Amino acid sequence: EDKVVQSPLSLVVHEGDTVTLNCSYEVTNFRSLLWYKQEKKAPTFLFMLTSSGIEKKSGRLSSILDKKELFSILNITATQTGDSAVYLCAVTRPGAQKLVFGQGTRLTINP
């Protein structure tokens, strides 16, 4: 059974800090890993990663995948209160369109 584990489950930091969120996975025939941000409503797509060592970047957010060690990290620099959310990691397999999600990391940024 495919498994995605995120850590930490919860994190509280001050505005301006840098955070690193972790996602490890076990999946038969890995295809891709995706990061989502969930505020009050629906998850919104951040990144999709398919190749090891290639950093994806969007503003203050960046992510990288290590397919050998089966994990990914999501970095957020110079955090802002608007970054407070649950960050979800999910994996897919070739030929299967469904996402298998981790439990999420609840990030709280205090002013």
Rounded Cα gap, residues 48 and 32, in angstroms: 7
Rounded Cα gap, residues 30 and 87, in angstroms: 21
Cβ closer to another protein: 76 or 91? 91
For the CB of residue 97, give the shortest distance to another protein in the complex, in Å. Answer: 5
Cβ closer to another protein: 14 or 41? 41
Q: CA torsion, points 99, 100, 102, 104, in degrees to nearest 10?
A: 30
Pairing outcome for strands 10-14 and 105-110: parallel
Cβ closer to another protein: 78 or 98? 98
For the CB of residue 51, give the shortest distance to another protein in the complex, in Å. Answer: 13
Show the tokens assigned to 55: 């950093």
Cβ closer to another protein: 15 or 38? 38
Taking a C-beta distance cutoff of 8 angstroms, is the pair 18, 77 a contact? yes
Name the residue with tokens 């025939």.
29
For the CB of residue 111, give the shortest distance to another protein in the complex, in Å. Answer: 26
For the CB of residue 50, give the shortest distance to another protein in the complex, in Å. Answer: 9
State the residues that interact with another protein by CB under 8 A: 31-32, 34, 41-45, 48, 88, 90, 92, 96-104
